Each structure stands twice: as C-alpha cells, then as structure tokens.
Amino acid sequence: MTTVHTTSKMMALLALGQSVWLDYLRRDMIQSGDLAARVADGLRGMTSNPSIFESAIGGSKDYDAALTGPAMRGKSDMDAFEAIAVEDVRMAADVFRTVYDSTDGADGFVSIEVSPRLARDTQGSLDEARRLWREVGRPNVMIKIPGTREGWPAIEQALEEGININITLLFSVEHHRAVAEAYLNAMEARIAAGKPVNRVASVASFFVSRVDSEVDKRLEKIGSPAAAGLLGQAAIANAKLAYELFSELFSGPRWTKIRDAGARVQRPLWASTSTKNPRYGDVRYIEGLIGPETINTVPPETLQLFEEHGVVRRTLVPNADDARALLKQVAEAGVDFDDVTQTLEDEGIEKFEASYRKLLGVISGKRQALGVAARA
C-alpha cells in the first residue's frame, strides 16, 4: 500500500477519502482563530458532548461573562447550558461554513447532542432534535441522537424531516445496520414526497477503543493462552465489519436510485479513537481505520500525536473476512460479543448521563460563585 506524505496528516487522510473531525469544542479556540487555522490545515468538522462542555466551562473562565450576562438571569442551569452550547455550536458552524459550501454540503459539520436523559425516549429525542435544529439555525449542524432501539424511529423521522443527524453510541454491527436502514428509508420517503435529499446529511458514529477495553477485560478473566493471543484486536475487527456492511448497503440497485436523486452516503464515523490502554500504540485507532467515505473524530491530544508520527495508508477494504474470523475466535474463547456491545451501550448512556449531571453541577457552582440566581 502507498504511504501518503503531505504537510498535514489531515490533508493526507483527506486524499484517501477520510475526513478528520475534532472531538472537542471550546469558545476560546473559536474566538482566538485557532479553529480557523485548523480548518486551513484540513480539519473538516467538530463534535461536542456534555463531557467536553463540562471540561470547557469548569476548566476555564471563558464562560464566566456568558453565565453572568442579562440573558442568563432567571434561567435554570439546564437552560443556561443549552444557551452556551447553542451559541458555541453556531459560532463553530460559521467557521466551518466555508468547508460546507466548498464541498456542496458534503462536509463541514458541527454536532450538538440531545440530552443523554432521552436515550431511551423516542418522542423526547425527536422533540429535542427538532428544537435544537431550530435553535442553532445553521445548515451545517448535526443533531446527535443515540443509536439505541428507542432512538431508531426518532432518527428516521428526523431525517425524513430534513434534519441532519449524527447517530452516536453505536457498538454493534446490527445497530449500525438499523440506523443505515433508517437513513435509507428516510431518503426514500423524501424522494417519494418530492422533497430534496441533496442537503440532508447523516453519519453513523461507531465507537472503537471502548470495545477493546471491555473485550480485553473478559479475555483476561478467561486467562487461557488462546484468549491472551486475542487481546487488543476486537475493536478494529468490529469496526471493519461495520465498514463492510456500509459498503454493501451503499451499493446496488436500491442505493443507486437514492444516490441518483442526489443523496450522499451515511458515512461511518469512528468515535472513541483515543487509546485507552497504554500497552497499545497511541494512534492505532486512527491508523487501523483509514478508508474512503469515512470520518475519524479525534481529541486534540490524539490528533497531535498522529500529526507527529502517524502513518497514512489505506487500511480499510470492503471485504472483512479476516475481521470476521478474528471475532469468531473471540467467541470461541468464551466472550459473548452481543453482551459486550449491549453492556457498552448501557454503560455509554450511564457515562453520558453522569457527565451531564456533573456539567450541571459545575454550572450551578459557577453561577453561585459569580452571584447569579438560577431558576429551580
């Protein structure tokens, strides 16, 4: 395989069909020009979540003025957070608007998440997605909805209404299939209704490194030589199966009809790509998942490491027979992979909810320290 060399690894990945999005959002990086500089270097989008905002608000004074402004008086802590998040996402989306326009709506998106408390609430997720879409008011925003069973109908309906959706917390190939079907169904419904599909965008955020964390824990507990030989391999194998499924679903007669009406593919987005286990390479979840029509959303620290010593070469192909064989070995060693992915989804929702509660606690503490009265 050919190794690509350019001044920016992000540009090199782009040459192979992969966009880099930053898994980070903070107001000062927008206002200082840092984000615009990153966009010039090849950054193509951005994601946010409660944990990112908790770190940004709690770890700096960047938001103190916003929290004490007249518009915040009388607002609940939840409303105060949403006002801050919406404003940050608007500003970031404006920076990425040049990317969005120059790619005719193919890239340049910024994501904002529905409340993690709605992960098991279909109607609540749909209602909040509609409201956030209206509040942000930018064509290059994506609303994040968890890819739980309860989320599937909300995802399909939102897409049918023309709302860009980033489906988050995907761990299983089966759930990836369900959200891809939701996208295809929504595009077909819009086409049948005579509505345009060329500016409706969606990505399927498939989580990676957390899979190795959970599978490795189970393999180590089994303790056999066979299990030991499988450590650190399940996550990339699982993602490769998701890419194989993507390649199958977005080809053939059904997709050709939708594509010919102007729709784009629902790209796989590799999430949770920082390395959790120090025994493993610090950029392995970027290097191992490079291929056309994909996105890797990366924390700033991991992106810097990749720029320093990452190798850019295509590592994803439509056929994933080797990955399938690897996961078969994991199952034969005694790991129930369906239970792994369900556990990770449940824990992911719990972690997002805990981050959200912590975030509201940080906002409450700051507002009290700044002498701002909040509505209960």
Which residues are catalytic, by number? 144
**Rounded CA gap, 289 and 18, in Å?**
9
Q: Is the dihedral of CA 132, 175, 351, 229 positive or negative?
A: negative
Q: Which of 143, 175, 141, 178 is nearest to 158 (CA)?
A: 143
Q: Which of 258, 285, 259 is nearest to 273 (CA)?
A: 285
**Rounded CA gap, 295 and 338, in Å?**
25
**Rounded CA gap, 186 and 160, in Å?**
5
- Beta-strand runs (E) in the chain: 18-23, 45-47, 109-113, 141-146, 165-170, 202-207, 267-271, 294-298
Question: Phi first, then psi: what are they for 62, rounded to 5°?
Answer: -60, -30
**Rounded CA gap, 331 and 227, in Å?**
10
Mention every residue, 6+ apart, whose C-beta is less than 8 A from residue 141.
Answer: 89, 93, 109, 110, 111, 112, 133, 164
Q: Which of 202, 198, 78 is nearest to 147 (CA)?
A: 202
| DSSP string over 19-51 | EEEEE---HHHHHTSHHHHHHHTT--EEE--HH
- Is residue 327 within 8 Å of 234, Cβ to Cβ? yes
Helices (H) and strands (E) in the chain, counts: 17, 8
Structure tokens at 358: 């912590």
Residue 305: its H or E element: helix 300-309
At residue 69's C-alpha, the angle toward residues 66 and 75, to 5°, is: 90
